[in-house]
Structure 1
Amino acid sequence: TIYAFLWTAAMLVLFAWKGTRLPYEGELRSLLGLEVSLVFVLLIIELSRLFVGSRGNKLEEATPLIIFVALTLIAALGNIYFLYLQIFVTRADLILNAISLVFQGLGVLLAIPTLITFRRAPKAAGQ
Protein backbone atom coordinates (compact mmCIF):
# COMPACT_ATOMS: atom_id res chain seq x y z
CA THR A 1 0.00 0.00 0.00
CA ILE A 2 2.83 2.37 0.82
CA TYR A 3 4.40 1.86 -2.61
CA ALA A 4 1.06 2.59 -4.30
CA PHE A 5 0.93 6.00 -2.63
CA LEU A 6 4.63 6.67 -3.26
CA TRP A 7 4.18 5.67 -6.91
CA THR A 8 1.21 8.02 -7.27
CA ALA A 9 3.05 10.93 -5.66
CA ALA A 10 6.15 10.34 -7.79
CA MET A 11 4.08 10.07 -10.97
CA LEU A 12 2.22 13.31 -10.18
CA VAL A 13 5.51 15.12 -9.57
CA LEU A 14 6.86 13.63 -12.78
CA PHE A 15 3.80 14.77 -14.76
CA ALA A 16 4.07 18.26 -13.26
CA TRP A 17 7.68 18.35 -14.45
CA LYS A 18 6.74 16.95 -17.87
CA GLY A 19 3.94 19.50 -18.25
CA THR A 20 6.35 22.39 -17.74
CA ARG A 21 9.48 21.04 -19.45
CA LEU A 22 8.27 18.91 -22.35
CA PRO A 23 6.43 20.09 -25.48
CA TYR A 24 2.79 19.15 -24.76
CA GLU A 25 1.20 21.31 -27.45
CA GLY A 26 -2.25 21.25 -29.03
CA GLU A 27 -3.97 17.89 -28.59
CA LEU A 28 -1.10 16.61 -26.49
CA ARG A 29 -2.11 19.03 -23.70
CA SER A 30 -5.46 17.23 -23.27
CA LEU A 31 -3.69 13.87 -23.38
CA LEU A 32 -1.50 15.03 -20.48
CA GLY A 33 -4.68 15.48 -18.44
CA LEU A 34 -5.85 12.03 -19.48
CA GLU A 35 -2.57 10.45 -18.42
CA VAL A 36 -2.73 12.19 -15.04
CA SER A 37 -6.29 10.86 -14.65
CA LEU A 38 -5.00 7.37 -15.41
CA VAL A 39 -2.59 7.70 -12.49
CA PHE A 40 -5.57 8.09 -10.15
CA VAL A 41 -7.48 5.25 -11.83
CA LEU A 42 -4.46 3.00 -11.40
CA LEU A 43 -4.21 4.02 -7.73
CA ILE A 44 -7.84 3.00 -7.15
CA ILE A 45 -7.28 -0.33 -8.92
CA GLU A 46 -4.08 -0.94 -6.96
CA LEU A 47 -5.68 -0.18 -3.58
CA SER A 48 -8.68 -2.37 -4.45
CA ARG A 49 -6.34 -5.15 -5.56
CA LEU A 50 -4.38 -5.04 -2.31
CA PHE A 51 -7.53 -4.91 -0.17
CA VAL A 52 -9.15 -7.89 -1.91
CA GLY A 53 -5.92 -9.90 -1.82
CA SER A 54 -5.44 -9.22 1.88
CA ARG A 55 -9.06 -10.13 2.62
CA GLY A 56 -8.79 -13.38 0.68
CA ASN A 57 -5.62 -14.32 2.50
CA LYS A 58 -6.95 -13.48 5.96
CA LEU A 59 -10.26 -15.27 5.41
CA GLU A 60 -8.58 -18.13 3.52
CA GLU A 61 -11.05 -17.78 0.65
CA ALA A 62 -10.25 -18.50 -2.98
CA THR A 63 -12.71 -16.10 -4.64
CA PRO A 64 -11.06 -12.88 -3.40
CA LEU A 65 -7.68 -14.25 -4.53
CA ILE A 66 -9.08 -14.88 -8.01
CA ILE A 67 -10.31 -11.28 -8.06
CA PHE A 68 -6.88 -10.20 -6.78
CA VAL A 69 -5.16 -11.93 -9.71
CA ALA A 70 -7.63 -10.38 -12.20
CA LEU A 71 -7.10 -6.89 -10.74
CA THR A 72 -3.36 -7.48 -10.85
CA LEU A 73 -3.56 -8.15 -14.59
CA ILE A 74 -5.51 -4.91 -15.09
CA ALA A 75 -3.04 -2.95 -12.94
CA ALA A 76 -0.13 -4.50 -14.85
CA LEU A 77 -1.66 -3.28 -18.11
CA GLY A 78 -1.75 0.22 -16.63
CA ASN A 79 1.90 -0.01 -15.65
CA ILE A 80 2.80 -1.32 -19.10
CA TYR A 81 1.01 1.69 -20.59
CA PHE A 82 3.12 4.02 -18.45
CA LEU A 83 6.25 2.04 -19.35
CA TYR A 84 5.86 2.09 -23.13
CA LEU A 85 2.79 3.89 -24.46
CA GLN A 86 2.47 7.26 -22.75
CA ILE A 87 3.42 10.34 -24.72
CA PHE A 88 6.81 10.96 -23.09
CA VAL A 89 8.51 8.10 -21.24
CA THR A 90 11.37 9.11 -18.95
CA ARG A 91 13.90 6.97 -17.11
CA ALA A 92 11.96 7.66 -13.89
CA ASP A 93 8.81 6.23 -15.55
CA LEU A 94 10.73 3.10 -16.44
CA ILE A 95 12.04 2.63 -12.90
CA LEU A 96 8.77 3.37 -11.08
CA ASN A 97 6.64 1.15 -13.30
CA ALA A 98 9.18 -1.68 -13.44
CA ILE A 99 9.17 -1.77 -9.63
CA SER A 100 5.36 -1.88 -9.67
CA LEU A 101 5.40 -4.77 -12.12
CA VAL A 102 7.88 -6.66 -9.92
CA PHE A 103 5.62 -6.23 -6.87
CA GLN A 104 2.59 -7.28 -8.90
CA GLY A 105 4.39 -10.31 -10.29
CA LEU A 106 5.52 -11.38 -6.83
CA GLY A 107 1.96 -10.96 -5.58
CA VAL A 108 0.61 -13.26 -8.27
CA LEU A 109 3.40 -15.79 -7.73
CA LEU A 110 2.47 -15.95 -4.05
CA ALA A 111 -1.29 -15.84 -4.64
CA ILE A 112 -1.48 -18.80 -7.04
CA PRO A 113 -0.11 -21.49 -4.66
CA THR A 114 -2.17 -19.96 -1.85
CA LEU A 115 -5.25 -20.11 -4.06
CA ILE A 116 -4.58 -23.76 -4.87
CA THR A 117 -4.13 -24.52 -1.16
CA PHE A 118 -7.42 -22.83 -0.27
CA ARG A 119 -9.24 -24.70 -3.06
CA ARG A 120 -7.91 -28.07 -1.91
CA ALA A 121 -8.50 -27.50 1.81
CA PRO A 122 -11.51 -29.34 3.23
CA LYS A 123 -14.40 -27.08 4.19
CA ALA A 124 -15.33 -26.96 7.86
CA ALA A 125 -18.88 -27.90 8.84
CA GLY A 126 -21.28 -24.99 8.41
CA GLN A 127 -19.35 -23.25 5.62
Structure 2
Amino acid sequence: MAAVRRGGTSLVLSSLLLQMLFYVNGVYYIFYFLATLTMIVYKSQVFSYPDDFLAPDLLVLFIMAILEVPRLYFGSKGNLTEEEAPLGLSLALTLGSVVLAVYFLVWQTYVLRADVILNALLLSTYGLESGLKVMAIAAFVS
Protein backbone atom coordinates (compact mmCIF):
# COMPACT_ATOMS: atom_id res chain seq x y z
CA MET A 1 0.00 0.00 0.00
CA ALA A 2 1.25 3.45 -0.82
CA ALA A 3 1.13 6.05 1.90
CA VAL A 4 1.11 9.81 1.52
CA ARG A 5 3.15 11.79 4.03
CA ARG A 6 1.41 14.94 5.18
CA GLY A 7 2.66 16.88 8.14
CA GLY A 8 4.77 13.99 9.44
CA THR A 9 1.93 11.42 9.42
CA SER A 10 1.19 8.71 6.89
CA LEU A 11 -2.18 8.85 5.15
CA VAL A 12 -3.41 5.62 3.55
CA LEU A 13 -6.01 6.29 0.86
CA SER A 14 -6.83 2.74 -0.25
CA SER A 15 -10.18 1.37 0.88
CA LEU A 16 -10.27 -1.68 3.15
CA LEU A 17 -14.01 -2.12 2.53
CA LEU A 18 -13.43 -2.09 -1.23
CA GLN A 19 -10.62 -4.64 -0.90
CA MET A 20 -12.83 -6.93 1.19
CA LEU A 21 -15.61 -6.56 -1.37
CA PHE A 22 -13.22 -7.60 -4.17
CA TYR A 23 -12.46 -10.77 -2.22
CA VAL A 24 -16.11 -11.53 -1.43
CA ASN A 25 -17.12 -10.81 -5.01
CA GLY A 26 -14.42 -13.15 -6.32
CA VAL A 27 -15.64 -15.99 -4.10
CA TYR A 28 -19.29 -15.26 -4.89
CA TYR A 29 -18.59 -15.18 -8.63
CA ILE A 30 -17.22 -18.74 -8.52
CA PHE A 31 -20.49 -19.83 -6.88
CA TYR A 32 -22.50 -17.70 -9.36
CA PHE A 33 -20.71 -19.21 -12.38
CA LEU A 34 -21.18 -22.80 -11.22
CA ALA A 35 -24.82 -22.22 -10.23
CA THR A 36 -25.66 -20.48 -13.52
CA LEU A 37 -23.90 -23.16 -15.56
CA THR A 38 -25.79 -25.86 -13.65
CA MET A 39 -29.10 -24.05 -14.23
CA ILE A 40 -28.42 -23.70 -17.97
CA VAL A 41 -27.74 -27.44 -18.17
CA TYR A 42 -30.86 -28.12 -16.07
CA LYS A 43 -33.02 -25.88 -18.26
CA SER A 44 -31.69 -27.52 -21.42
CA GLN A 45 -32.72 -30.94 -20.07
CA VAL A 46 -36.08 -30.09 -18.45
CA PHE A 47 -37.49 -27.43 -20.79
CA SER A 48 -37.69 -27.33 -24.55
CA TYR A 49 -34.57 -25.19 -24.75
CA PRO A 50 -34.01 -24.15 -28.37
CA ASP A 51 -30.58 -25.33 -29.54
CA ASP A 52 -30.00 -21.97 -31.21
CA PHE A 53 -30.18 -20.25 -27.79
CA LEU A 54 -28.15 -22.70 -25.72
CA ALA A 55 -24.79 -21.78 -27.25
CA PRO A 56 -25.25 -17.99 -26.87
CA ASP A 57 -26.29 -18.35 -23.22
CA LEU A 58 -23.19 -20.47 -22.52
CA LEU A 59 -21.00 -18.07 -24.50
CA VAL A 60 -22.24 -15.07 -22.51
CA LEU A 61 -21.55 -16.92 -19.24
CA PHE A 62 -17.98 -17.77 -20.29
CA ILE A 63 -17.32 -14.22 -21.56
CA MET A 64 -18.57 -12.94 -18.22
CA ALA A 65 -16.16 -15.28 -16.39
CA ILE A 66 -13.25 -14.16 -18.56
CA LEU A 67 -14.16 -10.51 -17.91
CA GLU A 68 -14.35 -11.08 -14.15
CA VAL A 69 -10.65 -11.96 -13.77
CA PRO A 70 -9.16 -8.67 -15.07
CA ARG A 71 -11.99 -6.71 -13.44
CA LEU A 72 -11.05 -8.00 -9.99
CA TYR A 73 -7.30 -7.90 -10.69
CA PHE A 74 -7.21 -4.28 -11.85
CA GLY A 75 -9.61 -3.20 -9.13
CA SER A 76 -7.52 -4.79 -6.40
CA LYS A 77 -4.25 -3.54 -7.89
CA GLY A 78 -5.58 -0.01 -8.31
CA ASN A 79 -6.91 0.10 -4.77
CA LEU A 80 -3.76 -1.29 -3.14
CA THR A 81 -1.35 0.89 -5.15
CA GLU A 82 -3.68 3.90 -4.91
CA GLU A 83 -3.63 4.43 -8.67
CA GLU A 84 -6.73 5.67 -10.39
CA ALA A 85 -6.02 4.19 -13.87
CA PRO A 86 -6.33 0.48 -12.94
CA LEU A 87 -9.29 1.26 -10.72
CA GLY A 88 -10.94 3.19 -13.56
CA LEU A 89 -10.32 0.27 -15.93
CA SER A 90 -11.91 -2.05 -13.39
CA LEU A 91 -14.88 0.31 -13.20
CA ALA A 92 -15.26 0.18 -16.99
CA LEU A 93 -15.07 -3.63 -16.94
CA THR A 94 -17.71 -3.64 -14.19
CA LEU A 95 -20.09 -1.85 -16.56
CA GLY A 96 -19.58 -4.67 -19.08
CA SER A 97 -20.22 -7.24 -16.35
CA VAL A 98 -23.40 -5.41 -15.35
CA VAL A 99 -24.72 -5.62 -18.91
CA LEU A 100 -24.02 -9.37 -19.01
CA ALA A 101 -25.64 -9.89 -15.59
CA VAL A 102 -28.72 -8.01 -16.83
CA TYR A 103 -28.75 -10.37 -19.82
CA PHE A 104 -29.07 -13.33 -17.42
CA LEU A 105 -31.66 -11.47 -15.38
CA VAL A 106 -33.89 -10.34 -18.23
CA TRP A 107 -32.96 -11.62 -21.69
CA GLN A 108 -31.86 -15.23 -21.39
CA THR A 109 -34.16 -17.91 -22.79
CA TYR A 110 -35.63 -19.08 -19.47
CA VAL A 111 -35.33 -17.06 -16.27
CA LEU A 112 -35.91 -19.00 -13.06
CA ARG A 113 -36.45 -17.53 -9.61
CA ALA A 114 -32.94 -18.72 -8.72
CA ASP A 115 -31.60 -16.70 -11.68
CA VAL A 116 -33.32 -13.61 -10.33
CA ILE A 117 -31.89 -14.08 -6.84
CA LEU A 118 -28.34 -14.83 -8.05
CA ASN A 119 -28.28 -11.90 -10.46
CA ALA A 120 -29.90 -9.45 -8.04
CA LEU A 121 -27.20 -10.25 -5.48
CA LEU A 122 -24.46 -9.97 -8.10
CA LEU A 123 -25.80 -6.64 -9.36
CA SER A 124 -26.04 -5.36 -5.79
CA THR A 125 -22.39 -6.16 -5.14
CA TYR A 126 -21.43 -4.56 -8.46
CA GLY A 127 -23.32 -1.42 -7.47
CA LEU A 128 -21.72 -1.20 -4.05
CA GLU A 129 -18.31 -1.93 -5.50
CA SER A 130 -18.74 0.74 -8.20
CA GLY A 131 -19.69 3.37 -5.64
CA LEU A 132 -16.65 2.52 -3.54
CA LYS A 133 -14.42 2.60 -6.64
CA VAL A 134 -15.64 6.10 -7.51
CA MET A 135 -15.00 7.25 -3.94
CA ALA A 136 -11.52 5.69 -3.96
CA ILE A 137 -10.65 7.29 -7.31
CA ALA A 138 -11.83 10.66 -5.95
CA ALA A 139 -9.63 10.19 -2.86
CA PHE A 140 -6.60 9.24 -4.98
CA VAL A 141 -6.99 12.22 -7.30
CA SER A 142 -7.37 14.80 -4.53
TM-score by length of 1: 0.89
- In structure 2, C-alpha distance between the alignment counterparts of 1:98 and 1:48, rounded to whole Å: 22
Cα deviation per residue 1:25-72 (whole Å; 9 max; x = unaligned)? xxx213112101211110111121111100000110000111111111
Segments of structure 2 that go 5 or more residues without pairing to the other structure are 1-25
Query: Which residue pairs with 1:102 in the alignment?
Result: 124
Gaps of 5+ in 1: 121-127
Which portions of structure 1, spanning 4 or more consecutive aligned residues, are displaced by more than 2 angstroms? none
CA contact (8 A) 1:52 1:67 kept: yes
Q: Supply the AA of the counterpart residue of 1:9.
A: L
C-alpha contact 1:35 1:86 (8 A) present in aligned 2: yes
* Distance in structure 1 (CA, Å) of the matches to 2:124 and 2:66: 19
Q: Identity of counterpart residues, as a percentage? A: 34
Q: Which amino acid aligns with 1:13?
A: T
Instruction: Indicate the residue corresponding to 1:113 in structure 2.
Output: 135
Distance in 2 separating the partners of 1:42 and 1:93: 15
Residue number in structure 1 paired with 2:70: 48
Q: What is the RMSD of the two structures over their aligned residues, measured on CA atoms? A: 0.8
Which residue does the alignment assign to 1:123?
A: none
Secondary structure in 2 matching 1:66: helix
Choose the corresponding residue for 2:97, options 72, 75, 79.
75
TM-score (norm 2): 0.80
> Separation in 2 of the partners of 1:48 and 1:4?
13
Distance 1:4 1:48 in 2: 13
Q: Is the 8 A contact 1:62 1:115 kept in 2?
A: yes
Q: Distance in 2 between matches of 1:53 and 1:31?
A: 33
Checking the alignment, whether the CA contact within 8 Å between 1:4 and 1:47 is kept in structure 2 is no
- For 1:6, give the aligned amino acid: F
The aligned counterpart of 1:31 is 53
Partner of 1:61: 83
